[in-house]
Amino acid sequence: MAEIHLFGGPSGIGESILIKIDEENYGIVDSFINKSTDNPKVLDYLLQNLIDLLYVKFIVLTHCHKDHFTGIRILLENCTNAEFFTSKAIGIKSFQMLISAYCKKVNSRNNYFTEIVEAFKLIKSKNKKVKMLQSGSKPIYEDSKISIQAFSPNKDTLEYLTPLYQNEVHRFLNSNGIRLLTTGFNYQSVVIILKMDNHRILLGADLEYHKTKTKIGWKVLESLSEFDTEFDIFKVPHHGSENGYRKEFWNRILKKNSVLSLTPYSRSKLPRQQMINKLTGHSKAFLTTNPTHNQYKKLPSRIRKKTKDVDLKRIANVPGGHIHNYLGDNGDYETDLFEGAVEL
């Protein structure tokens, strides 16, 4: 058996996954902060349910976007028995140079990478190593009943990202501002497969299809033998974006009764209705936040008058949600929805 708890952030921003392997073995994939407690949402869940934090055996950061990494350092401080894994694309020299350049120019309060830097420092202070994941890595976790393994990024992805980051270092150091371009960050994403006998769960992170390159992103994963099977549960990639979807591939890997789950990204209005229609055309689909909820509310009138020529909006206080997917040893499924989560 395995249980997947998918947490979505308030106001449609944030994604974190808790994997329950059994009563004494858990794993965490990505993190975001619960603003009402200033803790990672997944940590609040563990504490509220009296789950011993020593039972968390691994923490994975799939890629370097804030809606996936805020709170990682706090998790590492509290889950002292956990190994820390992240994408090999975060460890390559050009990306480390980008982090270093940004840290030299931007103070810690405004530094995009502060959370990542502090997490790496914490691991080093404990005489541990950050374990880098890529295609062909050893399993993140494995026992007689389950194997959890990463299938990206591959060597071609690292080669593709290297000049992008080198150019960004040059642009950033020679500019007057502090704006960071996050081009290519989604291609860092670690895609994870959980294998249990004849059952499979696929966690798609934020991986995309590239418009022209076929040796990176989802296109290269399509050719791997691990994707010749069908999946019972699929965490939909990149918040239901079109660039994470290909109908023919999904038809191949999804069972007729597969369960699709995803988190939104309200700043880009994801998932959009066209993709919602495609998702529900494949199988049952669940979202951590109601897509019909108005994500924005009006600014105060005094501010609207001063900014009438600018399209400014304030994100409404939309609650996050929690989708609980249970997959039994005999292949039976159960899905429970909590807080703002809905079936599409």
Q: Where are the domains of the chain?
A: 2-343
As a whole number of Å, the CA-based R_g of the chain is: 20
| DSSP string computed for 226-294 | GGSS-EEEEE-GGGG-GGG--HHHHHHHEEEEEEEEE--BGGGTBS-HHHHHHHHHHSEEEESS-TTS-
Separation of alpha carbons 225 and 229, rounded Å: 8
Separation of alpha carbons 167 and 173, rounded Å: 10
0.85 exceeded by pTM: yes
pLDDT in tens, 216-247: 999 999 999 999 999 999 999 999 999 999 99
pLDDT for 16 beyond 50? yes
Indicate the residue type of 252: R
Top pLDDT among 106 and 67 is at: 67
Report the C-alpha dihedral over residues 204, 257, 263, 149, rounded to 10 degrees. Answer: -30
CATH of domain 2-343: 3.60.15.10
Beta strands in 284-332 (DSSP E): 284-287, 296-297, 314-315, 321-327
pLDDT in tens, 310-334: 444 444 467 789 999 998 877 788 9
Q: In the structure encoding, which two tokens stand for residue 229, read together?
A: 């099977």
Average model confidence (pLDDT) across the chain = 91
- Identify the band that residue 63 occupies on the pLDDT scale cut at 50, 70 and 90: very high
